[in-house]
Amino acid sequence: MANQTMPRSAEAGSPLTINGRRPSEYNPLPHRLAEGENATPLEVIGASASDKLVIIMVGLPGTGKTHIAKRICRFVDFFHDIPSQIFNTSEYRRKLFGAKIPASFFDPNNKEALEKRGKACEAALADLIDYMKQDGVRVGVYDATNSLRERRQEVMKILKDAGIKAKKIFLESICDDDEILDENFRKLEVSTPDYKDMDNEEAIADFKERRRHYLSSYKTLDECDGSFIRVVNSKTFEVHGIRGYLPLKVVHFCMHVHTMPRTFYLTRHGQSEYNLYGKIGGDSGLTDFGVEYSRRLAIFAKEEIATEMKINEKGEEKKRPCPARLWTSSLRRTKETAQFIEHNTIHYTWDNGETTDWVQFRPIARRNLDEIYAGTCDGMTYKEIETCFPEEFKRRQEDKLAYRYPRGKRVNNALLLNRIICFFLSCTYMHNNNVYFFSFFICQLCFLFVQ
């Protein structure tokens, strides 16, 4: 077939033909860029983040400070191409004095331990200063408890004396919800190197004792500390004196972050007709194999995704229904992959006390999750592209990330990335299980972001 394929006519405006067939013949089910909901990027950034920013974390152990810091850095690096780094004082403390340290080490009356902890803090802050002085970096996060107002003032003075002219904001995480704390203790904190190979209950007891030592002298942020963001149980947010493009981006992202675990299920659509013929793009339906995949996926969704294990009053583990969402792209192949999933209604009480009748897997199609548009090459095979557009084929092989098909879109296009920011923010704040159907590229983006 490839040997018989005719190259595109050299005349301007001439339609592309393959084996004498016009586009409507070789690509009967094209990918059309329709107008309407989600047809255009959901967010267009009209400024650049040139100012540097230092984020100083504040909060007791077990409040999710490090988790929030990591998510912020991942967000600004992944979507805004802003270099960032976290300087965690616990890591410096472990390097200097080891990981197996009892809770008494954090007793404010233990002067020897206090001096050692001070050295770890100084080392982390010194590295932060060196990092922020480099060209090209933008965000540095000083991850420590910073529980004393005097300590926070000292950090600000050290940064000023070092000539760090970056904007500085405090980010305080407060958690007084027993359910969230228990979850943090069991699934986050006890997995740190400090409690490796230690009995689970013993580790939790030690960690709670460590937290009590900090709590005895803890002072929350107020207006005297300057610009700050306060996050309370990932539900209540207080913002004071925040100005500027990048700090406001951080504020916006923080309002979507929480520490409770949930599961995302990513899947490609079942085999489509264009998959069978090796064509790219288009808007074809599923083959018989694709339909069979969708049937089996529906069974998995019902038995695994839409249920959770809970301990009842008798102390027994029982499966019960849990809310689950379903998002697809707007393309036919993804919708058909979800066609057999049941949409039962369950009665559910959310963590804020609100009770609702929830429709399981209510399908939501979003055009901003569609496959990258292949432009002129939509509906062609790679062999046909190589024959008709040899230079384009070569360029794509050399750099698939930066390449854009003629009249199409490319992967690292700023508008494209910002088009899916809202999707990722939605994933971040959701508390329930979610299943998503879309193209291989979008699945790759999701996987890369959560790494």
| 18 token code pair | 């393959």
- Select from 266, 233, 239, 269 the least CA-distant residue to 252: 239
Placement of tokens 């998995």 in the chain: 300
pLDDT in tens, 200-234: 888 888 888 999 999 988 999 999 999 999 999 88
Q: What pLDDT score does 435 carry?
A: 61
Residue spans of beta strands (DSSP E) within 108-251 = 139-143, 167-174, 228-232, 236-240
CA 22-24-30 angle, to 5 degrees, is 130
Q: What pLDDT score does 417 carry?
A: 64
| 131 token code pair | 């990092």
Instruction: Count other Cβ atoms within 10 Å, centred on residue 241.
Output: 12
| 250 token code pair | 């951080």
Q: What is the Cα–Cα distance from 154 to 320, expressed in whole angstroms?
A: 51
Mean pLDDT along residues 51-56: 93
CB 375 within 8 A of CB 407: yes
Mean pLDDT along residues 321-350: 90
pLDDT greater than 50 at residue 305:
yes
pLDDT-above-70 percentage for the chain = 79
Q: What is the band of 156 on the pLDDT scale with cuts at 50, 70, 90?
A: very high
Placement of tokens 């802003």 in the chain: 82
Q: What is the band of 2 on the pLDDT scale with cuts at 50, 70, 90?
A: very low
pLDDT higher for 176 or 27?
Answer: 176
pLDDT higher for 367 or 96?
Answer: 96
Q: What pLDDT score does 27 carry?
A: 77
Instruction: Identify the weakest region by mean pLDDT among 148-152, 233-237, 315-319.
Output: 315-319
| 57 token code pair | 């974390």
Q: What pLDDT score does 190 carry?
A: 56
pLDDT in tens, 306-318: 888 777 677 777 8
Q: What pLDDT score does 266 carry?
A: 83
CB 88 within 8 A of CB 143: yes
Q: What is the band of 194 on the pLDDT scale with cuts at 50, 70, 90?
A: confident
Adjacency order of strands within the sheet including 53-58: 84-88, 139-143, 53-58, 167-174, 228-232, 236-240
Q: First-to-last CA distance in the chain?
A: 42
Q: What pLDDT score does 13 carry?
A: 43
Q: What is the band of 283 on the pLDDT scale with cuts at 50, 70, 90?
A: very high
Q: What is the Cα–Cα distance from 145 to 104, expressed in whole angstroms?
A: 16
Instruction: Count other Cβ atoms within 10 Å, centred on residue 62.
Output: 23
Q: Give the catalytic positions in this structure.
A: 143, 175, 269, 371
State the DSSP code for 437.
E
pLDDT in tens, 68-80: 999 999 888 887 7
CB 319 within 8 A of CB 308: yes
pLDDT greater than 50 at residue 48:
no
Residue at 219: amino acid letter: K
Residue 56, CB half-sphere, CA atoms under 13 Å: how many?
26
**Residues making up the chain, counted from first to last:** 451
Instruction: Count other Cβ atoms within 10 Å, centred on residue 294.
Output: 23
Report the run of H or E that residue 298 belongs to, with start and end.
helix 288-300
Global pTM reads 0.74
pLDDT in tens, 349-399: 876 678 889 899 998 888 878 888 889 999 999 999 999 999 999 988 888
